[in-house]
Structure 1
Amino acid sequence: MFTHITVGANDVEASRKFYDAALGALGMESASGPDPKGRYWWRTARGAFAVGKPIDGEPACHANGGTIGFHAKTPEMVQAFHDAGVAAGGTAIEDPPGERNGAFGTLNLAYLRDPSGNKVCALYRAG
C-alpha cells in the first residue's frame, strides 16, 4: 500500500543515528544520504523510510496518535530494535517489549519515541 514514509526531525543527525541502530537491529542497512533536501533514506524492496527537516522550514513535530510500525522477522529482533533504539537516543514507551494478545491475535511488539518524538514500533506476527 505505501511506497514511502517520511518523518520530520529537528536534529537530523540524532534521528539518523537512532534509525540506523533501531532499523539495523531489524536487518536493514544504514541510511543513504543525505539527499539534496537533507533527508536520509532506508530502502527495502517493499518501500522506503526517510527522516529530514521539514521542507517548509517549520519545526518538526510528531503526529499525536500516529505510529509507524516496522516488520521484525523474529521476536528476538523486536527486543533488539528496542534495545538498539534506546541506546541510540530513543525513549521506551507503553508496555515493555513482548507478547500482546488481542483482536489481531498474538503479536510481539516494542514501542519507542525517536529523538524527535515520533512513535515507532517493531512488530513480529507468528504464522
Structure 2
Amino acid sequence: MFSHMMIGSNDLDRSKVFYDAVLGTVGARPGSFDEKGRLVYFHNGAAFLVTKPINGEPASCANGATIGFATASPEQADAWHTAGVEHGGTAIEDAPGERPGSGMYLAYLRDPDGNKLCALHRLSA
C-alpha cells in the first residue's frame, strides 16, 4: 500500500548515524543524500526519507503517529532495537517482546528527533 515515508529531522547527520544502524539490521544499505539534501534509503521496493522541513520551521514528531518496520524474526527486532538505543534512540513502551494474544513480536523506539518507531515481526501460528 505504501510507496514511501518521509519524516523531518533537525540534524540529518545525526539521523544518518541512527538510521544507518537501525535500518541496517533489516538489510537496508546505508542512506545517501539526494540532490535536495534529503537522506534516502531504498529497501524491498520502498523508500524511507529524512529531510529538513521545506518550510524552514523546525522538524517535530507527529503526536500519535508510529512508523513500523517489518522484521524477519524476533532476533532481528531485538537487533533493530539495540542498534537504535546504541545510536541515539530512546527505548519506549514495553520491552521488546511478544504481545500476548496478538501474534506479534514488537519493539518500540523514538529516534533522536522524537519520531516513534516500531519493529514488528508476525509470529507463526
Q: TM-score, normalised by structure 2?
A: 0.95
Shift of 1:17: 0.7
What is the match of residue 100 of structure 2? Answer: 101
For 1:44 and 1:24, how far apart are their aligned partners in 2? 10
What is the match of residue 36 of structure 2? Answer: 37
Shift of 1:38: 1.2
Q: Are 2:39 and 2:51, in contact at CA under 8 Å, matched by a contact in 1?
A: yes
2:124 aligned with 1:123: no
- SS of equivalent to 1:110: strand
Shift of 1:35: 1.1
2:53 aligned with 1:54: yes
What is the match of residue 71 of structure 1? Answer: 70
Q: CA-atom RMSD, angstroms?
A: 1.0
Aligned match of 1:111 in 108, 113, 117? 108
For 1:101 and 1:52, how far apart are their aligned partners in 2? 36
- SS of equivalent to 2:100: strand
Q: Which amino acid aligns with 1:8?
A: G
Runs ≥4 residues deviating over 2 A: none
2:40 aligned with 1:3: no
Give unmatched runs, 5+ long, in structure 2: none
Shift of 1:45: 3.0
Q: Percent identity?
A: 56
Shift of 1:56: 1.2
Deviations 1:16-56 (A, max 9, x none): 11111011111211112x11221111112331101111111
Q: TM-score, normalised by structure 1?
A: 0.93
Aligned length: 124
Larger mean CA deviation between 40-49 and 110-119 belongs to: 40-49
For 1:125 and 1:52, how far apart are their aligned partners in 2? 30
- SS of equivalent to 1:18: helix
